[in-house]
Amino acid sequence: MLLTNKTDRSRSVSIGSHCPRATSRMALTMLLLALQPAWAGRKCDAPPETWQPRSAVSALAERNGWRIDRLKIDDGCYEIKARDAEGRRLKATIDPASLKIISVKRGHGDGDHDQDRDRAGER
């Protein structure tokens, strides 16, 4: 976009060429806005030095009657893939510092996905 100078109409000025700070600020703002969805999805933000050990997460799972299949770190949270007392699959997200259970998603069916897949292949 070109703007003309009111005192000298023969000279045109390009926005941005005279305002490198404004251009830099605009670029930084655009970058921060683009990164915002990544920050918004993060559930756990405790510094690593405040985290409870994995053994504490295992003890929490045991108290809840869960048998851990996998324990990993995802988006700054502990994530447990486990089976409950009835053998149903579940996925739990746990705050690593407080060991607060953030969410639990339970699976469907009898809890043995591999058998269900094998049965489907026999048909």
For the segment 39-86, what is each residue's pLDDT rounded down to a tens digit? Answer: 445 579 999 999 999 999 999 999 999 999 999 999 999 999 999 999
Global pTM reads 0.55
**Percentage above 90 pLDDT, the chain:** 51
CA distance 35 to 29: 10
Tokens matching residue 92: 């739990």
The per-residue pLDDT for 79 is 97
**Is 14 a residue whose pLDDT tops 60?**
no
Distances (CA, A) of 93 to 2, 14, 59, 79: 53, 52, 15, 5
Class of the 48-117 domain? alpha beta
Domain with CATH 3.10.450.40 in the chain: 48-117
The answer, yes or no, to whether residue 90 has pLDDT greater than 60, is yes
In the chain, % helix, strand, coil (3-state, to 5) comes to: 35, 25, 35
Q: What is the mean predicted confidence (pLDDT) over 87-98?
A: 97
Average pLDDT, the chain: 75
Mean pLDDT of all residues in 27-31: 62
